[in-house]
Chain A
Amino acid sequence: MGLFIAQLLTGLANAATLFLVASGLSLIFGVTRIVNFAHGSFYMLGAFVGYSLMQVLPGAIGFWASVLLTGLVVGLIGVIVEVLVLRPVYKAPELFQLVATFGVILVIQDLALMIWGAEDLLGPRAPGLKGVVRIMDEPVPLYDLALIAITPFVLFALWYLISRTRIGVLVRAATQDREMVAALGVNQSWLFTGVFFLGAGLAGLGGAIQLPKGGADLLMDFNILAAIFVVVVIGGMGSLPGAYIAAVLISVLNVFGVSYLPQSTLVLMYIVMAIVLTVRPYGLLGREEVVGEHGQVGEPERPIKPAGTKARVMVAVMLMALLALPLADSHFLVILTTDIIIFCLFAASLHFLLGLGGLVSFGHAAYFGGGAYAAGLLVVHVNAPMELAFVLAPLGAGLAAFIIGWLCLRLTGVYFAMLTLALAQLLWSLVFQWDEFTGGDDGLVDIWPAAWLSEANSYFYFTVIVGVGGILLLRHVAHSPFGYALRASRDSQRQAEATGINTKRIQWMAFTMAGALAGVAGALFVFSKGSVFPNELEITKSFDGLIVVFLGGVKTLSGGVVGAASLELVKDYLTRIEYWRLALGLLIIVVVVLAPNGIVGSLRKAWERLRGTPADEPSTTAPVALTSASAGTQESER
């Protein structure tokens, strides 16, 4: 009994940090509709800044002053990020901003590395709260009790701010209807900045307050990211009490998981989330999303046309050039190109979902990694020949997508995105923790292609044929009746349903197909590297996919492939310098600000401007189109 109570208290104490960080994320999303990937980075900064401040400020007063100051400092950093990075892209198409926040993650990672170094920092103990008390004979740290006592006050203060003050009224109003708030004369820019200050500040507080229990290290940002997404989704987007309940639930569960089910601590969290969302699709205290809230924003996509003769010839020439590449006799070039083609196929399959289907999946790596692992497991455990593994890998990935798609498609918008993320993480945690079967952290090794492909360049040819074939197949499907039905379901679900189209089934099949093709990419990957590790299914891999699809241009057919190829090339070049994350992050931010329609979309616009008018009338007849190409000049009013 004593142990039980002690563990319960530990869980409650851990919930403090989780709640602070998650409530910030929830607030920012609620008002600005930005899924802030960089929220984990604010938390990490909180830990580092808090650490440094505590070195300078002595004693108990210094400790708590440091915590509060950290909130202020990180809040101000949040303001800088909002003003410099996000303001120029508020009018960009839906969810495009998350690319910018991803750039911020990279920048903050390297800045933290520069300032605080690569060593993990051990947090100082809180002065005056260093001891333990015995509760039913079990030792409980005093600091834990302090955290448990503080959190409800923070919750109450936030609740008071949101529901009892004028600022809170504005925040709530903006959460429900931003346009209306703007129409009533509220300066949205400052409202957004204010919310970013508050949200980032809360994340900073969370980072500082956990120092005595943990410390500060460079992996904190991604480590907490999945957990706070889970908390926000379980609690219900935009609900503070919901976030608190969910934070407690997850933290307590985690503590008990560590003692009783040490092999499945990670899995547990995602299973709870899946159960909650099955029963309550919008979280414990969330409200149903208003239809259309996450519909197509900005200029509608242009009509598509099958490639003309000129384009076909160009593709054929490029394909020839690819096949001739080994003549250059550069092993490095062949390997690099293999990687690029594989990544392009992965990106193209995600783009199919995201661009044509309007289905924003945050967990697409599950099918890439799933395909790789399916092939790897077959080879390692049943000694399957490569050919068989290669056929079964996309089937396995497709099956995973079939099941996950069925679960997720009951939801829409950001809830859909979050559930895809959670289920992908579930798959990842399974692979990560099931050592005996998947090799866990050590991965699967010794997975090589069949004899007929073992020649130096033959696997390259194989990759070109399968990879480019997959990309062309996706492109063909875009023009097929099925592809049109998918776009119809995205453009107007009501109209599609009223003309006999079962939109959910169309989307479900598209989800499965995208998963299967990501699985093909995964199979190509595992045989080219000879090994696979859990990070191929991880959240960062999914984000990589999202980044390139958005960077390339969601509303263009070739966006995914162009984005993937560009980023891989740039990455290959940049990773040779010491602070490559900083450089890449800045580059991403610059591209986002300069080209809010993605690389392909913005190039197309530039080309049209150069030529005079586009093929049809200028698209400026669409009310929102005017501003999208000229970010950064006239945005300040919105």
Chain B
Amino acid sequence: MNSAESAVLKVEGLSKSFGGIHAVSDVNFELARGELLALIGPNGAGKTTCFNMLMGQLRPSSGNVYLNGEKITGQKPRRIWRKGVGRTFQITGTYQSMTVIENIQMALISHHRRLFSLRPYATRLYREEAMQLLELVGMSEQAERACAILAYGDLKRLELAIALCHEPTLLLMDEPTAGMAPSERIALMQLTADIVQERNISVLFTEHDMDVVFAHAHRLMVLNRGELIANGTVEEIRNDAVVQEVYLGGGSLFAAGDTHA
């Protein structure tokens, strides 16, 4: 599944320390084309720090990140985005003063390199493309609403649509369903899985909701105190003694489902 040549994302010895604290240490993994890979771990395990290093929001203390074989370690987020990586954030950061569709149009304007254009009006650019993306995530009816008044779940869906604007090969989704109702979570992850399959995109996502993880992830990695302690299929992780010991406290929490909600 993950031979070196076909790896969309390859991470080698990735580490980050803040002062004397090792937030992430020596993380290695690969992500194949079309694969949905989940990164799970308790709060403070270093998941978001990992994401921030992959997309360039943070510079790693050591280690390297390769995208389709090209080294992208320490590059700026905007450059990594141009290379075909999309990202959604744990806490959404959409443009509050714009409408839903304008948020998408903004990303499309950036994708088509029209940021410094003075004509025509921004609202007239790439409207159809934007509308298609909104339809994809089921938000076309809310296109003209102000972003500031959206429900949180809708913001998450909007973020997904924005992340798909430049037809990425890799999506980094940091807790895509955080703050959503349980039924919404399943729906959003199903939607993501469908899109991923249809467009052959690779996805790395973090998630606290185990139902969501087990339903859609092709493979799981477990991060604990900055270290990868397991990497395998759902079945393997379920039966991994170390994971059960460290992360799940040796109990049968998987069955209980939503551990953090």
Task: State the A residues within 8 Å of B (CB).
Answer: 296, 299-306, 476-477, 479-485, 487-488, 490-492, 494-495, 497-502, 506, 509, 616-617, 619, 621-622
> Is there contact, CB below 8 Å, between A479 and B122?
yes
Q: Are A300 and B106 CB-contacts (below 8 A) given A500-B78, A501-B115, A622-B148?
A: no
Q: Are A616 and B78 CB-contacts (below 8 A) given A306-B123, A484-B106, A494-B57?
A: no
> B1-9, B86-94, B218-226: which lies at the A interface?
B86-94
Q: Are A498 and B55 CB-contacts (below 8 A) given A476-B118, A482-B115, A622-B148?
A: yes
> Is there contact, CB below 8 Å, between A303 and B93?
no
Q: With both chains docked as a complex, state the minimum distance between the C-beta of A161 and any C-beta of chain B, in angstroms.
A: 31
> Is there contact, CB below 8 Å, between B110 and A482?
no
With a cutoff of 8 Å between Cβ atoms, the chain B residues found around residue A299 in the complex are 148
Q: With both chains docked as a complex, state the minimum distance between the C-beta of A312 and any C-beta of chain B, in angstroms.
A: 14
Task: State the B residues within 8 Å of A (CB).
Answer: 55, 57, 76-78, 81-82, 87, 89, 93-99, 102, 105-107, 109-111, 114-123, 125, 145-149, 162, 165-166
> Is there contact, CB below 8 Å, between B110 and A500?
yes
> Is there contact, CB below 8 Å, between A485 and B109?
yes
Q: Are A497 and B118 CB-contacts (below 8 A) given A300-B97, A485-B110?
A: no
> Is there contact, CB below 8 Å, between A499 and B121?
no
Q: With both chains docked as a complex, state the minimum distance between the C-beta of A346 and any C-beta of chain B, in angstroms.
A: 21
With a cutoff of 8 Å between Cβ atoms, the chain A residues found around residue B81 in the complex are 498-500
With a cutoff of 8 Å between Cβ atoms, the chain B residues found around residue A494 in the complex are 57, 89, 93
Cα separation A399 to B125 with both chains bound (whole Å):
31
Cα separation A305 to B99 with both chains bound (whole Å):
10
With a cutoff of 8 Å between Cβ atoms, the chain A residues found around residue B119 in the complex are 480
> Is there contact, CB below 8 Å, between A497 and B77?
yes
> Is there contact, CB below 8 Å, between A499 and B99?
no
With a cutoff of 8 Å between Cβ atoms, the chain B residues found around residue A303 in the complex are 97-99, 102, 146-147
Specify which of A306, A488, A509, A622 is in contact with B95 (CB 8 Å cutoff). A488
Cα separation A617 to B149 with both chains bound (whole Å):
8
Cα separation A509 to B87 with both chains bound (whole Å):
27
Specify which of A300, A495, A501 is in contact with B93 (CB 8 Å cutoff). A495
16 A-B pairs with CB atoms under 8 Å apart are A302-B97, A303-B97, A480-B121, A480-B122, A482-B115, A482-B116, A484-B102, A488-B95, A494-B89, A495-B162, A498-B77, A498-B78, A499-B106, A500-B110, A501-B78, A617-B149
**Chain B minimum-CB-distance residue to A300:** B96
Nearest 3 Cβ contacts at the A-B interface: A300-B96, A495-B93, A301-B97
**Chain A minimum-CB-distance residue to B111:** A500
With a cutoff of 8 Å between Cβ atoms, the chain B residues found around residue A506 in the complex are 115-116
> Is there contact, CB below 8 Å, between A300 and B148?
yes
Q: Are A499 and B149 CB-contacts (below 8 A) given A303-B102, A482-B116, A492-B95?
A: no
With a cutoff of 8 Å between Cβ atoms, the chain B residues found around residue A619 in the complex are 148-149
With a cutoff of 8 Å between Cβ atoms, the chain A residues found around residue B114 in the complex are 481
Q: With both chains docked as a complex, state the minimum distance between the C-beta of A485 and any C-beta of chain B, in angstroms.
A: 5
**Chain B minimum-CB-distance residue to A486:** B115
Cα separation A494 to B110 with both chains bound (whole Å):
14
Cα separation A5 to B204 with both chains bound (whole Å):
67
With a cutoff of 8 Å between Cβ atoms, the chain B residues found around residue A621 in the complex are 148-149
With a cutoff of 8 Å between Cβ atoms, the chain A residues found around residue B165 in the complex are 499
Cα separation A488 to B115 with both chains bound (whole Å):
11
Cα separation A499 to B94 with both chains bound (whole Å):
11
> Is there contact, CB below 8 Å, between A497 and B123?
no
Q: With both chains docked as a complex, state the minimum distance between the C-beta of B201 and any C-beta of chain A, in angstroms.
A: 16
Cα separation A498 to B146 with both chains bound (whole Å):
21
> Is there contact, CB below 8 Å, between B118 and A498?
no
> Is there contact, CB below 8 Å, between B122 and A498?
no
With a cutoff of 8 Å between Cβ atoms, the chain B residues found around residue A485 in the complex are 106, 109-110, 115-116
> Is there contact, CB below 8 Å, between A302 and B146?
yes
Cα separation A509 to B125 with both chains bound (whole Å):
21
Specify which of A487, A490, A497, A509 is in contact with B116 (CB 8 Å cutoff). A509
Cα separation A500 to B85 with both chains bound (whole Å):
10
